[in-house]
Structure 1
Amino acid sequence: MDIVRYVTPLLGKSQGENRFRLMPTDDYKDSAATATVKVTAAHFASVAYTWSDGESPQEGLLLLAGGSSDAEPATAVWLDSWHTGRALMQFSGTVGADGVLRLNGSYAAPSGPDWGWQIHIHPGEGRGGRITMHNVVPGEDPYQVVELVLER
């Protein structure tokens, strides 16, 4: 997929709200958020964002790559000061019929099999957009952890 063409409706600076919860039974905590989406090195896109965990400011970066045809999957590298610490997480995914880019990755759990992490990018027709992140516990349905709603 051509990632530059895909992120075109999201390009620029946006402000919005970040909703975060750790466990599916927790209430969401809301905080102000910002994001800057831009084309990087001609063939890549980056999404740099800020949010707060309620105690301190946090930031993250998603670097997206995609081939020149729609048949090629997107790949990504993600880091976030709260979620990934000093590690990078790798993803791959595709755009569904609904226009949402669904990226899938995994991370090591303290014991047992790796857990999954999903990042979904919902383009907003030039008005901003929405990014959701989901935790995937082995044997369980994914649950939403983060919702970042952006507006220009």
Structure 2
Amino acid sequence: MDLETSRAAGPHAVLARLAGSWAGRATLLFEPGIVHAEGPVTGRIELLHDGRFAEHRYTTPIGEAESTGRALIGCELDRRLWQVAWVDSFHTGTSIMLSEGPYDEGREVVDVLGRYHVPDGPPWGWRTTYEPGDGRLVVRHYNVTPDGEAALAVQFDLARA
């Protein structure tokens, strides 16, 4: 797929749907199914380099602290592969979470998986999805055990601001 085709009806069209200002509700879970904190979230997704990439910037309070984050999102057309580089002030520490996942034609969802290291144990996974809809966007982050079990950790339910 070439870039012009992708912009019209491929992954870069999905990136274009993500662009804009967003506001809504953030939910944080430390254990599966147990909400630790909820609060407002605001953000903006801007297209970069003629629509080749999107940058997501957001701010949300977590408990008494404010959390900010950025994600750079793209799709490598040659391998049909979503790629995301994510950092935030709450989860990633001094690491950059690098994630990848296949672009599935006809599925308008960015779905990627990264890994992070824990002391004295095997790496864990971190799955991230961006699911646009009519005037809405749901961003989900899942913690994935070394055995492959996924549990929702963060969810942003957003509407166009």
| TM-score between the two structures when normalised by the length of structure 1 | 0.89
Q: 1:123 maps to what in 2?
A: 132
| CA–CA distance in structure 1, aligned partners of residues 46 and 12 of structure 2 | 9
| CA–CA distance in structure 2, aligned partners of residues 147 and 95 of structure 1 | 21
Q: How many correspondences in the alignment?
A: 150
1:8 Cα offset (Å): 1.7
1:26 Cα offset (Å): 2.7
Q: Which runs of 5+ in 2 are unaligned?
A: none
| CA–CA distance in structure 2, aligned partners of residues 93 and 64 of structure 1 | 11
Q: Which has the higher contact order (CA 8 A, sep 6+)?
A: 1
Q: 2:31 maps to what in 1?
A: 23
Structure holding more strand per residue: 2
| CA–CA distance in structure 2, aligned partners of residues 28 and 112 of structure 1 | 25
Conserved in 1, the CA contact under 8 Å of 2:74 and 2:83? yes
Q: Which runs of 5+ in 1 are unaligned?
A: none
| CA–CA distance in structure 2, aligned partners of residues 50 and 72 of structure 1 | 30
Q: 1:44–1:98: structure 2 CA closer, same or farther, 3 Å change rule?
A: closer
Q: 1:10–1:128: structure 2 CA closer, same or farther, 3 Å change rule?
A: farther
Secondary structure class of the residue paired with 1:21? strand
| TM-score between the two structures when normalised by the length of structure 2 | 0.85
Conserved in 2, the CA contact under 8 Å of 1:10 and 1:124? no
| CA–CA distance in structure 2, aligned partners of residues 94 and 140 of structure 1 | 18
Correspondence 1:72-111 to 2 at 5 A: 72-96=80-104, 98-111=107-120
| CA–CA distance in structure 2, aligned partners of residues 128 and 86 of structure 1 | 31
The alignment-based identity, stated in percent, is 26
RMSD in angstroms over aligned alpha carbons? 1.8
Structure holding more helix per residue: 2
| CA–CA distance in structure 1, aligned partners of residues 60 and 130 of structure 2 | 17
| CA–CA distance in structure 2, aligned partners of residues 37 and 74 of structure 1 | 16
Deviation digits for residues 93-124 of structure 1 (CA, Å, limit 9, x no counterpart) = 12445432210000001111100000011012
Q: 1:99–1:4: structure 2 CA closer, same or farther, 3 Å change rule?
A: closer
1:74 Cα offset (Å): 1.2
